[in-house]
Amino acid sequence: MLKTSSIFIAIGFVVAGAGGAQAQGPDVGEALYNQYCATCHGSSGAGDGPLTEIMMEQPGDLTQLAANNDGEFPMLQVIHIIDGRTGVRAHGGPMPTYGAIFSAEAADQMGYGSVVEVRGRILSLAMYLESLQK
Ligand code: HEC
């Protein structure tokens, strides 16, 4: 139940943010993915980005997140990985590389508008990842 209600809250944030200067949507998720994630995870999400040649730890195949989770896309888990709460090791804990772009905590310190924008970005990205599932 918690899972579903959290997603509804997240969607609420996107809807609330849609009227603002930075409208969010699938295209936004794709653009964010290509800008911040594809270097490692590859443009298809399969884990074959250019940076992997010099990386010690290989990123997982992001097109298999649902398949690895009994066929259900682990939306909340993915949101938490992106916003840093899960602390995936290769992302250096709370993804310091991205600073406040995807950090809910950092956004909290900057006021409501920023929180809305950050949540919108995270959800756009998570929904884009969901669309990559095979
Ligand atoms: C510097 C390279 C790098 C970048 C950039 C990067 N990742 Fe990752 N990511 C990894 C690696 C490596 C792993 C495997 C992590 C581990 O087990 O420590 C991973 C794991 C993940 C996982 C968990 C995969 C699974 O199978 O459970 C998700 C989801 C994820 N990344 C999403 C993203 C998103 C979204 C972005 C962009 C905002 C991003 N990553 C940017 C390297 C990267």
CA of 19 to the centre of ligand 1 (A): 30
Query: Each residue of 97-134: pLDDT tens digit?
Result: 555 677 766 666 766 677 788 888 889 999 999 999 99
Nearest CA to ligand 1 atom 9: 59
- Asked if residue 10 has its Cβ within 6 Å of ligand 1, the reply is no
Instruction: Quote the pLDDT of residue 46.
Output: 95
2-44 pLDDT, tens digit per residue, is 455 555 444 444 444 444 444 455 688 999 999 989 988 999 9
Q: Sign of the C-alpha dihedral, residues 18, 41, 84, 96?
A: negative
Gap between the Cα atoms of 34 and 106, Å rounded: 23
What is the distance in A from the centroid of ligand 1 to the CA of 12?
A: 26
The amino acid that residue 27 corresponds to is D
Distance 26 CA to ligand 1 centre (A): 19
Task: Give the model's confidence band at 79: pLDDT under 50 very low, under 70 low, under 90 confident, else very high.
Answer: confident
Most confident of 63-67, 80-84, 105-109: 63-67
pLDDT at 124 (0 to 100): 92
Q: Residue 102 has what pLDDT?
A: 77
Question: Which one-letter amino acid corresponds to residue 79?
Answer: I
By C-alpha distance, which of 45, 47, 92 is closest to 73?
A: 45
Q: What is the mean pLDDT of residues 64-93?
A: 82
Which single residue is written with the structure tokens 């990205």? 125
**Distance from chain centroid for Cα 60:** 14
User: Closest residue (by CA) to atom 40 of ligand 1?
Assistant: 37
Ligand 1 within 6 A of CB of 39: yes
Q: Give the C-alpha separation, 36 to 8, whole Å.
A: 25
- Ligand 1 lined by 81 (C-beta under 6 Å): yes
